[in-house]
Amino acid sequence: MGTLVGHVAPGFGFLLIGLWHLFNHIKLHYQQHPNSYISPPWFPTSKIKYLELYLIITGSSISIAMELFVGPEKHHPFDDDGTIPTNHLHNFEHSSISMALLIYAAFSIVLDRANAKAKHALTQLLAAVAFGQQLMMFRLHSADHVGIEGQYHLLLQIVIVVTLTTTLMGIGFPKSFTVSLVRSASITFQGLWMIIMGNMLWIPVLIPKGCILQWENGHQVVSCAAMEALHRAKALVNIEFSWLVVGMMIFIVSVYLFLGRVYGKKVEYWSLGKEEEGEEEEEEDLESQKKSNLEFVHMGKPYAMDIER
């Protein structure tokens, strides 16, 4: 992180996973009976079961390598005496987030293959720890995020809190579709906000009026010449966030309704077919009962006549 690619690349990963979860949770919600719905922590694919988890492991590994070995000038983050220099503290912080996500994905595969009894709860707990790690690192970042970048990170922390909270709630409420929907939406929101942050902070054309991009402690930051320009820039960040919230609301409801038309009708037609089959079976039972009653009546008449004689 700390660069355009460092924000856009992980943001794209969060966006991809969030959309994948959003689609599958809504699909599962329509295809299953409401009482039988259980929110899985990850979704397998038809050809490669652990594709989602493999992508998380791959992306996290690349992020760790970029932060600790590729990005630094010496291709390692240590000083000559073996200590961690100040300008590389953020590399360790960012790689710690990636490490937590890597551990989550790796142990999710292990728990599933072992068919552990509490694999659902443990997998959700691992994800919650990873998001908690992310929140802690952004909250207690060594780089003094002030100004515009600090405002972007502050609003990102709000979204991470939502993701963390819904992930923990998923342990106690695995049958809640609403919890799963909000978690998926918050992961998607994280990805979008990281992509927006990377573009707005490191593309000079998009930097607010009165602010410039300059080097500070080994990386580029946006600084504003006057307090008025800083307040204006922060207000613009808040407006961006609020517009994105509104856009996400419209997007989620639209996707929910669209997938309902695609998958909801199939379930409805299937249930109607079952009801029609049940009605046909009931009609056949009534006809068979009528026939048996008629036969009984016909058989009873001669017997009654013999008694009278």
The CA-CA-CA angle for residues 68, 198, 67, to 5°, reads 0
Tell me the per-residue pLDDT of 101-139, one tens digit each, with 9 for 90 and over. Answer: 999 999 999 999 999 999 999 999 999 999 999 999 999
The CA-CA-CA angle for residues 214, 216, 220, to 5°, reads 50
DSSP-derived letter for residue 67 is I
Tell me the per-residue pLDDT of 130-146, one tens digit each, with 9 for 90 and over. Answer: 999 999 999 987 666 67
Among residues 144, 139, 112, 137, which one has the least CA distance to residue 126?
Answer: 112
Tell me the per-residue pLDDT of 196-237, one tens digit each, with 9 for 90 and over. Answer: 999 999 999 999 999 999 887 667 889 898 999 999 999 999
* Percent of the residues in the chain that have a pLDDT greater than 90, as a whole number: 62
User: Model confidence at 306, in pLDDT bands (50, 70, 90)?
Assistant: very low
pLDDT at 98 over 80: yes
Handedness of CA 154, 190, 178, 108 (dihedral sign): negative
What integer is the mean pLDDT of 244-270? 85
Least confident among 66-75, 192-201, 232-241: 66-75
Q: How far is CA 302 from CA 221, 293, 298, in A?
A: 107, 15, 8
DSSP string for 163-231: HHHHHHHHHH-TT-HHHHHHHHHHHHHHHHHHHHHHHHHH-GGGSPTTEEEEEETTEEEEEESSHHHHH
Q: What is the predicted pLDDT for the residue at 181?
A: 97
What integer is the mean pLDDT of 33-62? 92
pLDDT at 307 over 80: no
pLDDT at 309 over 50: no
pLDDT at 296 over 80: no
pLDDT at 180 over 80: yes
Look at 43 and 69; give whichever has higher pLDDT: 43
Phi then psi for residue 211, to 5 deg, are -125, 155
Handedness of CA 66, 158, 26, 173 (dihedral sign): positive
* Percent of the residues in the chain that have a pLDDT greater than 70, as a whole number: 83
pLDDT at 258 over 50: yes
Among residues 142, 152, 143, which one has the least CA distance to residue 207?
Answer: 152
Task: Report the C-alpha gap between 48 and 195 in whole angstroms.
Answer: 28
pLDDT at 92 over 90: no
Q: What is the predicted pLDDT for the residue at 70?
A: 84
